[in-house]
Chains A and B, each alone.
Chain A
């Protein structure tokens, strides 16, 4: 394994962990359910995917690297469906937006 591969892989993993920590901070600090979902989707895109790509760079084209890539693709395909379903069901079951919210077009349109 050469140095560039090593440094790039570990740099991506450290960046990913940093963004995952930011996502957790957001999960605690942000006010309502919808804003907290933003924090979780944020975790996924740059946090977890960066960790998985870092693993791929470190391991190269082998069993582990290929699985990391497939994991990243599946997480990208599925996590947003979960976020969408949670937000829609929260709104349908009457979870209010926080007081800071500017507009709610979804409620105005009678949903």
Chain B
């Protein structure tokens, strides 16, 4: 019951944001739409409801957003410079990076963050062995023996606090 309630409240808040004014029509329509979505989706959205009660996880997520934005800005400028320079200084390749995150949602967020950062693109992952296959526009800073990439470590350190 609890996962459904979380999904219901979440969907209702999104609906109220989209409609923006609080009147009777809007609230009734929002309750109906959120109810139908909750019936269809079931407990797919929040499979571990007890984690929603941990306050420190939200704080770590609030810290994760500026860290991610800063990395993103740096990578954007770097890739923009590469595209604009006449000699096109790229050194692409698909590399293998080790990760210690185990949970599905944590791996998803990590792969999505890596893909959103320009210059790195997650191609596939090996969940059992804990490897991410990442296409990099410049593999220069990659250490072949350690299977480590700086940007993944930075995200991983914070994501391990939020998920496990």
Contacts and interface: CB of A to CB of B under 8 A. Distances in A.
Contacts of A31: 90
A30 B80 CA distance: 12
Interface residues of B, number: 38
B133 A105 contact: yes
6 closest A-B pairs by CB: A42-B118, A80-B115, A102-B93, A26-B83, A105-B96, A103-B93
Given A34-B121, A66-B17, A101-B92, 4 more contacts: A19-B80, A26-B83, A42-B119, A105-B95
29 contacts: A19-B76, A26-B79, A30-B90, A35-B137, A37-B135, A38-B119, A41-B115, A41-B116, A41-B117, A41-B121, A42-B80, A45-B116, A66-B17, A66-B18, A66-B20, A70-B14, A70-B18, A80-B122, A91-B123, A97-B93, A100-B91, A101-B94, A102-B139, A103-B94, A105-B96, A106-B94, A106-B123, A109-B96, A109-B126
Interface of B: 14, 17-21, 72-73, 76, 79-80, 83-84, 88, 90-96, 111-113, 115-119, 121-124, 126, 133, 135, 137, 139
